[in-house]
Amino acid sequence: MWENIQYTSLNGSRFGQQFRDAFTNKRRTRLGVAAIFLVLIIGFAWTRNDLRDRARDGYRNAVGAWKGTTPKRSQFHIYLPATEPHTHLCYSTLSARVNGYPTPTLGNWGYQGKIDGKSVKIIGFSDWLNGLDNTHDDDLVLLIDAYDIWFQLRPEVMINRYYDMIDAANSRARKRYKNVPELRNVETKVIFSAQKEWWPYEPWDPPTYVVPYSTLPSDFYGPDTDTVGIGEATWQKIRARWLNSGTIIGPVKDLRDIFARARKLLMDPKAKYPGMDQQVVAQIFGEQEYVREAKLASHPTIPQRLGFWWPEGEPPRVSVPDFHRTVYNLSATARYEYGMSLDYTGLLAPPTVSAEDDAVWLRHNDTSTFLGADVLGLPADHSHYPPSTRTHLAQDILRSRPPFADVRKQKSSSSRSSSSDRDSDSKSLHWMTVPLFTNLYSGIVPTMIHQNTHRYKGRLRDDTWNQMWFYPYARDLFTAAVTAPDEPVAVTRRGGETREWWSAYPEKGGVKTAEGLWVPWSRICNTTLFDFHDGQGEWISPQKGG
């Protein structure tokens, strides 16, 4: 029928004649009409079903999108193990508040027992975690040393960096253990800070030799990277590789498991831990990595059996021959996997001990001026610091709330001098123009500063406090943060999920003890312990009972 019609031209007479001839035949006409009718019925049915499916899918997508915009609500906890008031505790708590962090929990507050303070840190934290019911399992907890860590960036930056480090650690583990069936699904959950020294262990101990190498470039400090120096410079060129317990962040559930294990080790009468909390958690990390590497050694590929590990990575760190090394005699049934990893690049709170020459305060619109360099004791010659690392401020910082978002600019104030450091004009209202503690080799601006340096016998904690970006405006920022409306301290979006992070306590302008007692700022930081250095005397809480 239709195959005899030649569509040679839409406008030609041949097409029109053949079209007319086709419909002059009644039989062909009836068949044609029937065919057209059948096509219309099928087309209608298909269209109806398609529209119905599309409508249903559209509804589902709309509902899914609507559900996706309903944020999950969790709590973000800051835990500070602190037994008594101190000026350095004021630094930690004030810097947390002005940067928008939740009201901290003080662990072991007022403790006067005979147990060593470092041991109490483990016991008190474990007790507090056990006191949280299962509804808090997914809450995020930041445990920091209370007397030597300062906050300088926003909570959303910290939380997003935590998740980025989790993803990076999982990626490294999948790559390294891809041929080990029982390790293919290993997941990192808890991040510890990393330090340059293997203290409190020795080179032949597993927590020293079996742990992963730093992820920093092998030439991070130039040709002398990872070479041991002399005297104070012994560790200066070593890339951070070993666990530091000063900063720990992870979910409640996973921290509960780790510190239950830490508590058990601490109470073992056969073991002695002069390094206390750091030595205990470093052993747990060492055991985890020892078991991982032992399993890797037991699953070699054919090239690996022949000794060819490259390009698949370095050999298992338990198989490197060294008769001096101590080995673990571990149980075949005990748990050793705790999802632990380290912050090798210093995104959270890199320790300043043995890294005194690594970082300085910079305004990122003028990175040629090193602020506080003389106080820090940096070398006079700065030419060995790569300037290319300081050309850009990280996007996660630029996207975060501006530094003075919580306080209105005051046109005049008796507490302000005319110096540029105290000039809060429009140029100062951006992260590019405030001083930020910055690593001079990587350009990384950490969320916190761990001032545990040994240089100048620890005086840098007091001598560099005035370099913090908020220092000239601390009173106004603190008051603004205390009186700010209740809202999430951070909102994160990952994998299609939006999550709001809230403080566990509605109170502001003080701290809560682990037992639930409210301690106002005036009790932990009176004028004897802390001075705003603005000539206005004691800070008076604008809140009743604050």
Residue 196 has pLDDT above 90, yes or no: yes
75-218+227-343 to CATH, choices 3.90.550, 2.30.29, 3.10.129, 1.10.3470: 3.90.550
Q: In whole angstroms, what is the distance from residue 322 CA to residue 327 CA? A: 11
Q: For residues 78, 79, 85 and 89, what is the CA-based torsion angle, rounded to 10 degrees? A: -50
User: Domain segments of the chain: what residues?
Assistant: 2-67, 75-218+227-343
Residue 301 has pLDDT above 90, yes or no: no
**Per-residue confidence (pLDDT) for residue 178, from 0 to 100:** 92
Sign of CA pseudo-dihedral 274, 279, 281, 287: negative
Rounded mean pLDDT, 221-245 = 92
268: number of Cβ within 10 Å: 11
E strand or H helix at 153, and its extent?
A: none
Percent of the chain with pLDDT over 70: 79
Q: In whole angstroms, what is the distance from residue 217 CA to residue 236 CA? A: 15
Q: 115 falls in which pLDDT band (50, 70, 90)?
A: low
Residue 116: DSSP 8-state: -
Residue 46's nearest CA partner among 354, 503, 38 is 38
Residue 17 has pLDDT above 70, yes or no: no
**Per-residue confidence (pLDDT) for residue 312, from 0 to 100:** 58
69 by Cβ neighbours in 10 Å (0-12 / 13-18 / 19+) ranks as exposed
Percent of the chain with pLDDT over 90: 60
Residue 199 has pLDDT above 70, yes or no: yes
Q: 310 falls in which pLDDT band (50, 70, 90)?
A: low
The overall average pLDDT reported for the chain is: 83
Rounded mean pLDDT, 446-471 = 91
3-state secondary structure of 190: strand
**Per-residue confidence (pLDDT) for residue 193, from 0 to 100:** 98
pLDDT in tens, 359-397: 999 999 988 889 988 888 887 778 888 887 777 899 999
Higher-confidence residue of 388 and 398: namely 398
**Per-residue confidence (pLDDT) for residue 465, from 0 to 100:** 96
pLDDT in tens, 144-176: 999 999 999 999 999 999 999 999 999 999 999
E strand or H helix at 488, and its extent?
A: none
Q: Are 456 and 377 in contact (CB under 8 A)?
A: yes
For the question of whether the overall pTM of this predicted structure is more than 0.85, the answer is no
Higher-confidence residue of 49 and 138: namely 138
Q: 45 falls in which pLDDT band (50, 70, 90)?
A: very low
Q: Establish how many alpha carbons lie within 13 A of residue 12's alpha carbon, considering only the half-sphere containing its beta carbon.
A: 7
Highest mean pLDDT among 16-20, 173-177, 265-269: 173-177
Q: Are 73 and 135 in contact (CB under 8 A)?
A: no
E strand or H helix at 72, and its extent?
A: strand 72-81
The one-letter amino acid at 275: G
pLDDT in tens, 464-515: 999 999 999 999 999 999 999 999 999 999 988 999 999 999 999 999 999 9
